[in-house]
Amino acid sequence: MTEWWRDAVIYQIYPRSFQDSNGDGIGDLPGITRRLDHVAALGADAIWLSPIFTSPMKDMGYDVSDYTGIDPLFGTMEDFDALIARAHELGLKVIIDQVISHSSDKHPWFAESRADRTNPKADWYVWADPNPDGTPPNNWLAVFGGHAWEWEPRRRQYYLHNFLIQQPDLNLWNPAVQDALLDTMRFWLERGVDGFRLDTVNYYFHDDQLRDNPPNPVYDGPDVYAWQRHVQSRNRPENVAFLKRMRALTDEFDDRMMVGEVGDNGQTAIDIMAEYTAGTDRLHMCYSFEMLSRTFTARHFRNTIQGVQKHAPDGHSCWSFSNHDIVRHVTRWADHASDPDTLAKQAAAMLSSFPGTICLYQGEELGQTETELVFEELTDPPALRYWPEIKGRDGCRTPMVWDAAQPHAGFTTGEPWLPVKEPQAARAVAGQQGRNNSVLSAYRATLAFRKAQPALRWGKTRFLDLPEPILGFQRDHQGQALTCVFNLSKQPVTLTVAGDSELTGPVLAELDGDRLTLPANGHAWLTGAVALFA
């Protein structure tokens, strides 16, 4: 059995925003299939599709009402089969999102569960009696604001929703619920998918005694959810046994994998990543939000990688800088960059040099920036509720731009569900094709270089003791060694190289004798495991 995922480049596609094929302004499966050549030419090994299942779209598909159906917005099951076939022709694996910590409130399971306390699915969701004064059973908060409990008058009970009210939490303490969810995963495995991205994988279980969460003494910002330490409502040890059941299922099929999204930060996230990927009977890999933060320092990147290496020496990590939930990194880290294009190229080089699997978010290869939206253009529930203090996720979800000369940059012939604005259209694929200095060309060259270097794909990692803002480390594998170095600032720096070496790959640096000069946001790969001195 191969382990293709260990050094894979995964390209995340947000289906609503990739390519519309029928003019309704919403991306779809035939549109994705049409554009797969772009992904293959980039040098990706796999695509990850954000949810395409039947859904009322209260949270853009992360509220599933049929786990084995394709939402008509995106097409048909035949369209999905055609996408799988074309992806596999191009050598691309296909990973789909699995949102099984919660369903939509329109799912038939929930419709039955909420009807009364005695029906066959009465305990398929998390129900609790009110306190004597009618208040919710504990202090748990929802990620999108307010209490995590909603009153259901038919049962005279509250149900748990860690996210929207319309996203009730499934009760995975019930073995029948686990069995039903595993059956839906089997359906897609038999359909030919190559793996799963597991949404909010650390939310599957809750404290069965419903004890209060303690306060978080280190946060007092505008996000009230972060005012608690969510030790009772997520990150429960019971998760691991269910992960083992999921792994046993995927292991029945050849070359399949699971990557879990750990919705947490700091040392807690690193500890969970370690726990969930330890050994060979849990998840294949995890990622957290550590590298999706605004922190852009050598210490941060080093500590994150070393933390996982220390706590999960036999585990595996997946790293990304952007996704559909986070401000795009070219915008997020703009204060540390001389210009967006140089930052985008450095990010590609840095991510490609990190140990483990890497994930790219659509448009990242164009150096795409966050879209500035006004309130009337929003669709994201948190933004609609808390604007302007919380701007939500729409800004990173605007449509992919293909050709600036076409209406809506070639995304649709209709009116797009989110607007395509000029700053984003200016970065369209057509305008970057064939330009050696474009961000797109840099991504293609960087990913090709990574693929040709065993040290970058599978090598061990040893960090160099260099002062801020220099991030340096060595990668080595079976006799091949590379030294990777990055200037995380807008000011040029010069380092001394001790040992014989030369520059290799698509670098932004100059080597003159033993003097290595890195311009603003410069990066370099040096042959051999050489020492560097500031």
Burial class (CB in 10 A: 0-12, 13-18, 19+), 115: middle
Distance CA 50, CA 52 (A): 7
Distance CA 409, CA 412 (A): 8
pLDDT in tens, the chain (534 residues): 579 999 999 999 999 999 999 999 999 999 999 999 999 999 999 999 999 999 999 999 999 999 999 999 999 999 999 999 999 999 999 999 999 999 999 999 999 999 999 999 999 999 999 999 999 999 999 999 999 999 999 999 999 999 999 999 999 999 999 999 999 999 999 999 999 999 999 999 999 999 999 999 999 888 999 999 999 999 999 999 999 999 999 999 999 999 999 988 888 888 899 899 989 999 999 988 999 999 999 999 999 999 888 887 888 899 999 999 999 999 999 999 999 999 999 999 999 999 999 999 999 999 999 999 999 999 999 999 999 999 999 999 999 999 999 999 999 999 999 999 999 999 999 999 999 999 999 999 999 999 999 999 999 999 999 999 999 999 999 999 999 999 999 999 999 999 899 999 999 999 999 999 999 999 999 999 999 999
Helix (H, G, I), strand (E, B), or coil: what is residue 365?
helix
pLDDT reported for residue 310 = 87
Q: Is the peptide bond prior to 222 cis by the omega test (within 30 degrees of 0)?
A: no
Tokens of 267: 């040392």
Reply yes or no on whether 199 is catalytic: yes
Task: Please tell me which residue in 252, 254, 335, 422 is annotated as part of the active site.
Answer: 252
Burial class (CB in 10 A: 0-12, 13-18, 19+), 484: buried
Task: Please tell me which residue in 45, 71, 105, 199 is annotated as part of the active site.
Answer: 199
pTM assigned to the model: 0.97
Reply yes or no on whether 78 is catalytic: no
CA 140 to the chain's CA centroid = 25
Distance CA 212, CA 197 (A): 30
By the 8 A CB rule, do 411 and 400 touch? Answer: yes
What the chain holds in terms of domains, given with CATH numbers, is 4-102+175-206+238-450 (3.20.20.80), 456-533 (2.60.40.1180)
Distance CA 361, CA 443 (A): 12
Burial class (CB in 10 A: 0-12, 13-18, 19+), 261: buried
pLDDT reported for residue 1 = 55
